[in-house]
Amino acid sequence: MRTLTQKLKEITVQIVCEIPDERLQAKKPNIDRIPVPKQNEIEFQIDDSIRNLPAYQLINLGWGLFTGLDGRVDEKAAYAYTKYGLQKALSDLQENFFGNAHIVSGALNNIGVFHSCSAEPSIKNWNLGMAYFEEANKYKGSSYAKGSSYAPTNLLWHFFLRERYLNEEEVRMLAEELKYNHKVFKYLNKLGRLPQNYQEAISFLVDEAKLGDPDAAMWIAYNFECGPKKLDFSAIEWYKFSLNNSVYGSETYNQAASRLQRLELLKNPQLQSAPKPPRQGAASLPPSAYKYSKDALEQQYSSSGYKYLENGQYDKAIQEYTKAISIKPNNDDYYYCRGIAYNKTGQYDKAINDFTTAISWNSDYYGAYLGRGNAYLAKGEFGKATKDYDMAIRIKPDYVKAWVNKGIALSKMGEFDYAIIDYSEAIRIDSSFALAYYHRGILYKKINEKEKAISDFKKACYLGDKEACEQLKSLGYK
C-alpha cells in the first residue's frame, strides 16, 4: 500500500489554462479507475422534482440543508442529495472532465465534512471523512481541473489533530499544494513542529485563544463539532468567542457565524423552520435549490470561462472570469486565465496587469511569468520579456515553452548565439517539441547556415509543423 508521502509525490501541480498546451493532448485520466470511498447509503427518499436537478444544484441544496442556510438542518437529506449529486457529477465527468471535475471535488469534500461533523450517528465517521478529503484532494492536484480548495485544508486539519499522522515533509508538500499560508500553517509555523499528540494540539490552540486569536477559537470549536468524538455543543461558546473577537465580514467571522447557526438549530430544533415540500417548477423549491450560492456561481463562471478559453471564444472567457473574480478576487488562476484571454485578443496591457496580479498572489506561478513575458514580447519590450522567461525557468527549469520564447526574444534583440543556445536547451529537454526546431531553423536561415536550417525544418516538419514544411520548400528542398 502506498504511503501518503508517495501519494503526494505523485501529484503534479500544473497550470490549468495554458492553452494551447501539448500536455492537453495527453490521455485524460481513466475516470472509471478513480476510486470513490464506499458507504452504505443513508435511507432517504429523494423526491423526483429534486432528483431531476443538475448535479451542482443537488450538491448546493445538500450543503444548505447541512449548514442550516434555509433555517433548518436535515443531515440525512443533505447526505442523500449530495451523494446523488456526486453520482450525477461522476457520470457527467465521463463526457466533460474539464468542466465537471471541480463539482466532483466539491461533492467529495462536502461528504467528508458530513462524515466529520454530523450529529447523525449513521453518518458520523471521522476516518471515512478523511478518506473523502483525500479523494477530493486528488482532483485538486489534477493538471486538468481545479478541485475543491478546501480539501487539502480539511486534510491538514485532520492531520494536525492526529498523533504523528504527518511528518514534516508531508506537511510541506500540502503547503505547496495550497499555494498560500493558510491558518493551519500559521500554527504549525508558530509551534515550530507537529504537535506530539492530540492533547498538545488542543492545549496549544487554547493558549492562542486566550491571547484573543479568533482563528484558534474557531478551530477549537471545530474540534468539538467535527472531531473524532460525537458532536459536543461546547462548540457553541467557542464559536461565539471567535465571532466576538474577529473582524466583521472577515472569512473567520463568516465561518463562525455559519457554524454557530447550524449548531443553534441542532441544539434547539424548535427554532427550525418547517420543511417546504417541493411542488412543480423550480420556484417552489427551497432557495438553495434554485438560487446559486456564491460558491456555485463562482464554479459556474470559472467552468464556463475555461470552456470558452479552450474553444477560442476569448471575449466570452474574459466576461466569465471577470464574474468569477468579482466573487473571489484573490484567486490567482482566474487572473491568469483572463490574462491568457487578453493576450489572445491583443489586449496586452490588461494581460500584463492580470499576470502581475496572479504573481502577487503566487510568486511561484511560472505560467503567469510566461504569459506576462509573451505580452511584453508582443509589445516589443524584449528585455522585460526575457526577464520574465528567466523567472519562469528559474521556477521550472524544464519549462520548454519558456526556453523557446526566450530564444525568440533574444533573436529579436540580435543575440543570435544566445538564442540558439536556448532553442537547443529546449530540444534537449523535449526532443519532440516542433517549435524549438522551427525557430532554431528560422535563425539558422537568417544567419545563412542553410544545411543546419534544413535539418531543423525537416525535423519540425516531421513532427507536424506545417510552416516548417513550407520553409523547406522555400529552400528548394522537396
CA distance 142 to 347: 30
346 DSSP 8-state letter: T
Q: Which pTM was predicted?
A: 0.50
End-to-end C-alpha distance for the chain, whole angstroms: 56
Mean pLDDT of the chain: 75
Which grid cell is 102? 471541480
CA distances 85 to 54, 78, 96, 103, 131, Å, are 7, 10, 16, 9, 18
Lowest mean pLDDT among 18-27, 246-255, 342-351: 18-27
The pLDDT value given to residue 103 = 78
pLDDT in tens, 242-294: 888 877 767 777 778 888 888 888 888 877 665 544 333 333 333 333 333 45
Cis amide bond preceding 277, omega within 30: no
* Top-confidence residue, 394 or 171: 394
User: What pLDDT is attached to residue 59?
Assistant: 86
Give residue limits of the domains in the chain. Answer: 4-270
Q: pLDDT tens for residues 77-114?
A: 889 888 888 888 887 666 555 456 777 878 888 888 89
Report residue 425's pLDDT band, with 50, 70 and 90 as the boundaries.
Answer: very high
pLDDT value, residue 189: 65
* Highest mean pLDDT (candidates 125-134, 156-165, 220-229, 330-339): 330-339
Is the pLDDT confidence value at 172 over 80?
Answer: no
- CB burial of 133-157 (b: ≥16 within 10 Å; e: otherwise) equals bbbbbbbbbbbebbbbbbbbbbbbb
State yes or no: pLDDT of 472 exceeds 70: yes
- C-alpha distances out from residue 215 to 156, 184, 188, Å: 15, 9, 13
Q: What is the percent of the chain with per-residue pLDDT over 70, rounded to a whole number?
A: 69
The label of the residue with cell 511569468 reads 369
Q: Hey, which of 27-36, 47-56, 248-257, 382-391 has the most confident mean pLDDT? A: 382-391
pLDDT digits (tens, 9 = 90+) for 349-377: 999 999 999 998 888 889 999 999 999 99
What DSSP line would sit under 283-319, residue for residue?
GGS-HHHHSPPHHHHHHHHHHHHHHHHHTT-HHHHHH
Nearest to 395 by CA among 423, 369, 430: 369
